[in-house]
Structure 1
Amino acid sequence: LKISYEIATKVFILLIQGTVVAKLRLAANATPEIAQKKRIKEELITETVQKELEERRRSWDVNNGQFEKFRQWYIDYRKDIWHK
């Protein structure tokens, strides 16, 4: 039983250390340059998706409201995929 507590304690400490390291890495990546690159990439995604959907829309039978909802959802979806 004592061994189980020791192992559990060591695992817990490793998890905490891993979390701290991950947070430090995220903080290091949160530089203005990284933020600007992210913004530029998101703008590129938006522009690309809009062109792509405008071409496809010609063959779709949807009204403007439906198209706008789908367009925004699809842009957000593509940005989400890129972030992962």
Structure 2
Amino acid sequence: MPYQEARKQAVKVLEDGYGDAVVLKDAHGYWVLYYLYGFQTPPPEAPPHWMEGPFPGEEGIRSPYEMQKFLEEQGDFTYLNDVD
């Protein structure tokens, strides 16, 4: 889901220096879309770098920083993107 659309549907957004975690809710629970662009706002059409869910509640939802570290520990490259 593109960033702009996800933000419109978000029930919560977690922002830190690593990116945005856009929290959505549907009949199955909470889903989190991670857009890892550092301090920059992701482009409106940007797809998420990662998605997690569903969660039964908001517990267990990781911050963008926590997700960045988790992905690095799994062997993925650094996801910080520069949109300038």
* TM-score between both structures, scaled by the size of structure 2: 0.22
Higher helix proportion, which one? 1
Larger relative CO (CA 8 A, sep 6+): 1 or 2? 1
Q: Which has the larger radius of gyration?
A: 1
* TM-score between both structures, scaled by the size of structure 1: 0.22
